[in-house]
Homo-oligomer: A and B are copies of this chain.
């Protein structure tokens, strides 16, 4: 099996998620597309990154990400660091010829995101923006059903990502610093909504809405609200908040088409609600447990009904990237490329601009 050296920038929440995924790919997806060898890991805290290397099985740790870029043995650079550390290391890695994965949001705004995309695309390496929710089996099944025309013409997409951990004035992480995060709930959660809106319902044409900060002293947004139109003519909403008490990871969306509807909640990520206008006297939404042998990604797992967890979305995502590197598949359209990362940022920025100006914004996407 061909080996590929992997390095990671970042070792905390996302570092754990990605490291776990690489380790599981080795035996849960059998045979794996490539033999991913965990070579190096970088982070600011020397003790912590050293422990992470030992824990997850990286050959070495470093406090300077440039060491990773310079390492001749590696083929894939996985950037799970804070948003402010997305641009420079990712571009440097790509320009050093490494394939790159970058956590979402790609950059802190549309300009930075476009710059990352432009510079990386110019190198010819494979690039994946880690919108992992595309790799939830129920989300992929939804996409496949829509592609097959099972929903007909899409009329509505309503997406909201609700969490509540932001309701603590004493919290202080990089996620609350505009220079490190770019934005608050918008880039953290709203970007996911925008990405699945595009993944499932197509390109967004206009947005009208705003961001909102509730907690005194907070300098990033706590919430975002927008009404949107799609190029197809579909309409709907994009919402995100970190202040919806009782909602822990409730990324909920619903799609209505001319032949049926779909609905989803990330807190029950193994389930897809499916309505078909098939004339059955017993009509209604089905609770589909997306865990059958013929369901997306399920060849890697268990018998039907033996559900998987949130962490597995990364197994699917990074497995897809390894397949792309191995030449088995393209990153797009099932994975998000850096262009997708840029487009999500463009839409997020447009919501901010709409809020500032009070005017609806027609999206205009830059090319390379």
* Interface status of A306 (Cβ within 8 A of chain B): yes
Q: Which residue of B lies closest to A312 (CB)?
A: B309
Residues of B within 8 A of A269 (CB): 307
Q: How far is the CA of A284 from the CA of B291 in the complex (A)?
A: 11
Residues of B within 8 A of A210 (CB): 208, 227, 229, 235, 360
Are A235 and B212 in contact, CB atoms less than 8 angstroms apart? yes
Q: How far is the CA of A269 from the CA of B164 in the complex (A)?
A: 22
* Interface status of A363 (Cβ within 8 A of chain B): no
Number of residues on chain A facing chain B (CB within 8 A) = 95
Q: How far is the CA of A83 from the CA of B283 in the complex (A)?
A: 32
Residues of B within 8 A of A214 (CB): 155, 233
* Interface status of A60 (Cβ within 8 A of chain B): no
A261's contact among B246, B257, B307, B360, by CB below 8 Å, is which?
A: B246
Instruction: Give the number of copies in the complex.
Output: 4
Most buried by B among A13, A165, A227: A227
Residues of B within 8 A of A233 (CB): 212, 214
* Interface status of A258 (Cβ within 8 A of chain B): yes
Quick one: given A158-B239, A208-B360, A359-B359, are A249 and B304 in contact (CB under 8 Å)? yes
Write the residues of chain A forming the contact surface with B, with a CB cutoff of 8 angstroms: 13, 17, 19-20, 23-24, 27-28, 30, 55-57, 141, 145, 155-156, 158, 160, 162-165, 167, 208-210, 212, 214, 223, 225-229, 233, 235-237, 239, 241, 243-250, 254, 256-261, 266-272, 274-277, 281-289, 291-292, 294-295, 301-312, 354, 358-360
Q: What are the 7 closest A-B residue pairs judged by CB atoms, nearest first?
A: A248-B305, A246-B275, A249-B305, A309-B309, A308-B309, A284-B288, A358-B360
Instruction: Other than A237-B239, A283-B288, A358-B360, give 16 A-B pairs with Cβ distance below 8 A.
Output: A17-B302, A23-B27, A27-B57, A141-B282, A155-B214, A158-B160, A165-B303, A208-B358, A209-B227, A210-B227, A237-B237, A246-B275, A267-B307, A272-B282, A281-B295, A308-B310
